[in-house]
Chains A and B, each alone.
Chain A
């Protein structure tokens, strides 16, 4: 037995780090797992799971990445140019028109590859934003679009047979809001739009065409903008400062918001290099010069440092908020009437029964209504029929009477005609006996006859 103990002690002393007492918690499969009770265990040698992050990264490389940017800003403010400059490529060349009647969102997906990283980039542009004379409906299409992407993801997630790892994630990860360089303050439209978007998407405000503002004006403008945003309760995206490796740089960048950017894909010779810049008669504004504008800061923050965090925030905060609201809207809750936690299925069953009953009831109602209407119509028709019948009878009677009367008249007339013709015949007979009496007598007789006739 002692040799066993000796061997055991040997093993213990070879452990890399000494921990005083390790007592693993033993759980029954009935007992709920207590999160805090897991103890650390020291290992006596190299196991090899430090390659885990690499395994994860390899898998992500295989799958590829997805990033969706929404650009909101007036037409002509430089959205497409900035995106081109950010990703160092020419996405689209034609300019947008100013005459669209409504705000539309146009999404275009591109595949970019850098070393072994494949990125599926979707750029969503707001076409016609701020162009209308009446701008009341300007931000609604944007909100609707964002909600539609959340809805599509939610539908996929709620499907029975789903494939989420395969799903092309179209949810907007970041919204670049372009503020025009007036130098004064935020426009009302900007404020309203940002207010309606801040709970749905990560907003990064940028001052576009920053070469139109001088440096001193810029500082004042930035301060004014930030104070306006804060006083109106607009929540813009703050770069995360919880991880030590990037906390410092993120914190300093937070102080430079909103970024004043200049975009350009044209190259100008400065010194002996070709750099991206805008050439004016009074000088050259270099895009990648940190003294000239904040473009480099934006690119670094957006792509190099925080892309993953932006996606994370979208998924865990904005999407969850949308999902919770949507499900609550459908009437589903987590707690039942006795405040016992209900499962989604029970609630949904209950809802389903309710809706089913409701539908039945409505059907009955409609049936009743229909039957009643039919009866009414029938009654009306019958009434009409009766009336017609009555009229018909009446007319018939009238017609009969008329007929009788006319018959009577005809008979009388015929009798008269007969009488007249008889008289005529008689007078003709008397005429044919001219010598019997003197003409005068005949004439007198004739007159007498005629006058008695008349």
Chain B
């Protein structure tokens, strides 16, 4: 069973929940052993994670992925003299299974060489959006089969890391256009790439400007504010939101610094340690993506983005009977619809219906 298909929240306020009576137990029963059962099951089944890296060539995407997962995931593409730059955007997916302390993780990294490299970059986001929709479509098709598999393979993109070039000024039009479109369909984590070309002060200024740009254009990057469940989440996520976008440096070579072996970039004026918080914010990115929010990324992809896609698809083809969830949207064009930004709903907070302004929906 997909670990995502878990039991529902008991604190839901839906009318269909039955009236529950709180009961006192007079002694130990052993209910908390269910947590161990969960763990055992999860370890046996393994985890899946799909990440996509988007950015212009030369920003260090492949290196970053290698650094994140401490292994040679992607070949660092260094365009040699004879290799022409790709004319169109091609997406390349690489899948590996990595294991740590008994936990197996099937990791898929999708690279996007050629993004933003052409003279005319109009609609360069279409192949990417197309790829993301294709993964949703695959999952949807599997889900609506009559005889379904026990565990539907999850190839949906859980997180998209967007590399912003370190100009030091502000977001470029290409960045803004792309982020606007992408934030509606996938969790986006923007990072400032190659941050070793900016000083600390420049970094802070750049970061602030980017945050303002994002706010002006209504771009909600991960972690989205509307999905904060409770006060703890809020506090944790606000801290993260303050530092987004992270200024990162990637490196896959090791050097000796003060007797320790560290990953870093060696330059004539010093060695930039990747895992040193004083040098760059790579540890924050790694912690966010892997150590603390991986499950959350998957949850939001499954519960929000995938559901939105499903609603869009099913409305479009009038597949299912007009039940109470029927929404009469006007026929949307072939590309992803452009909903008007997230609406925060009171409770439960994980549900965020991205609604069209001019459609009447029953929530």
Q: Do A and B come from one complex?
A: yes
Name A116-156 residues within 8 Å CB distance of B. Answer: 116-120, 122, 155
In residues 42-88 of chain A, which contact B (Cβ within 8 Å)?
A: 42-53, 55-66, 86-88
The CA-CA distance from A5 to B69 in the complex, in Å, is 22
Count of residues in A whose CB is under 8 Å from the partner chain: 106
Prevailing SS type, chain B contact patch: loop
Partner of B98, one of A28, A43, A61: A43
Instruction: Name B96's closest neighbour in chain A (CB-CB).
Output: A41
The answer to the question of B344 belonging to the interface, with a C-beta cut-off of 8 Å to chain A, is no
Is B153 a contact of A65 with CB atoms below 8 Å? no
Q: How far is the CA of A311 from the CA of B41 in the complex (A)?
A: 12
Query: Is A59 within 8 A of B295, CB to CB?
Result: yes
Given A41-B71, A56-B295, A35-B153 contact (CB < 8 Å): yes
B34 touches A307 (CB 8 A): yes
Which residues of B sit under 8 angstroms from A161, Cβ to Cβ? 307, 311, 325-327, 353, 361, 363
Question: In the complex, what residues of B have CB within 8 A of residue A308's CB?
Answer: 34, 37-38, 41
Nearest residue, chain B, Cβ from A33: B155
Q: A165-B350, A320-B148 are in contact. List 5 more A-B contacts (CB 8 A).
A: A11-B252, A46-B100, A61-B35, A86-B29, A320-B147
B 291-318 binary contact with A (CB < 8 Å = 1; else 0): 1111110010001000100110011011
Q: Is the CB of B8 within 8 A of A166?
A: yes
Contact string, A315-331, partner B, CB cutoff 8 A, digits 1/0?
11000100110011000
Residues of B within 8 A of A (CB): 1, 3, 5-12, 14, 16-35, 37-44, 47, 68-74, 90-103, 105-106, 110, 131, 134, 141, 144-148, 150, 153, 155, 229, 252-254, 261, 263, 286-287, 290-296, 299, 303, 307, 310-311, 314-315, 317-321, 323-327, 348, 350-351, 353, 361, 363
A residues whose Cβ falls under 8 Å from a Cβ of B? 7, 10-11, 14, 22, 24-29, 33, 35, 37-53, 55-66, 86-89, 91, 107-120, 122, 155, 158-170, 243, 245-246, 299-300, 303-309, 311-312, 315-316, 320, 323-324, 327-328, 332-334, 343-345, 348-349, 352
Complexed CA–CA distance, A84 and B145 (Å):
41
Q: Is the CB of A63 within 8 A of B145?
A: no
Is the beta-carbon distance between B92 and A28 smaller than 8 angstroms?
yes
Structural contact, A119 and B106, CB atoms closer than 8 A: no
CA of A309 to CA of B40, assembled, Å? 11
A66 lies within 8 A of B38 (CB) = no
B146 touches A332 (CB 8 A): yes
Chain A residues whose C-beta falls within 8 Å of the C-beta of B97 in the assembled complex: 38-41
B101 pairs with A162, CB closer than 8 A:
no
Of B34, B263, B351, which is in contact with the most chain A CB atoms at under 10 Å from its CB? B34
Contacts of B296 in A (CB 8 A): 55, 59
Contacts of A91 in B (CB 8 A): 23
